[in-house]
Amino acid sequence: MIIATHRTLLVPYNESLQSEFLMLNYCTMNRMQMDDYHTVCSAKPLFLRILHDPNIYALAVLDNHSRDYIGHVCIYHLDEKPELGFLFDKAYWGQGIGSEVLKAFLPKALHDLNLHQVTTTVESNHIPSIRIVEKLGFERLKDSAYPNPACLQYIFTSCEVEAAL
């Protein structure tokens, strides 16, 4: 599946995107508001999981004009408690790309995967990510069981798709 927005293309991953994925994931600036960091060695198995694990639904985000790789969106843990994940290159922060991409990705993914609920975890001090998920209609879970107290958990139900868009 390919999803086109005004400024981006969301495309399935293939091996040709490995080096871009690795650079996105081991850049400490890109991941500074996340609860973990990757090295090239730890990001490579993650890329292979994205290619081959049926419990991960992931799309690469490309710039619509240059076709540069600018980020990643996914829903993982499809066999347990599905969770939304997203990461964008720091060069594209503050431009509304995240909102644009997720507004197109989330309803299509929920429909195609026949999901009724998805969660996401956000660093409590990462205001841009909090704004994005709240704008999409995610609701904050009051009593999060997430092990990192510096993180907030949100939940989205599919009946909220039409209301959020």
More confident: 49 or 23: 49
| pLDDT higher than threshold 70 for residue 74 | yes
Q: Mind listing the pLDDT tens digit for each residue in 77-106?
A: 999 999 999 989 888 989 999 999 999 999
**Residue 152 belongs to a domain with what CATH number?**
3.40.630.30
- Tally of domains within the chain: 1
| Contact present, 36 and 54 (Cβ < 8 Å) | no
Assign 54 a pLDDT band (cuts: 50, 70, 90): very high
Question: Could you give the CA distance from residue 34 to residue 126 in angstroms, rounded to a whole number?
Answer: 9
Find the range with the poorest average confidence among 9-13, 42-46, 154-158: 42-46
17-to-21, 44, 60 alpha-carbon distances in Å: 6, 11, 8
What angle in degrees, to the nearest 10, is found between the helix axes of 97-113 and 127-135? 50
Question: Could you give the CA distance from residue 137 to residue 134 in angstroms, rounded to a whole number?
Answer: 5
| pLDDT higher than threshold 70 for residue 146 | no
Mean pLDDT of 30-36: 47
Assign 71 a pLDDT band (cuts: 50, 70, 90): very high
Predicted confidence at residue 38, as pLDDT, reads 58
| pLDDT higher than threshold 90 for residue 76 | yes
Assign 31 a pLDDT band (cuts: 50, 70, 90): very low
Predicted confidence at residue 96, as pLDDT, reads 95
Here the tokens at position 105 are 């990705």
Question: Could you give the CA distance from residue 108 to residue 104 in angstroms, rounded to a whole number?
Answer: 7
**pTM to 2 decimals?**
0.86
Tokens 């709240």 belong to residue: 134
> Domain containing 119: what range?
3-164
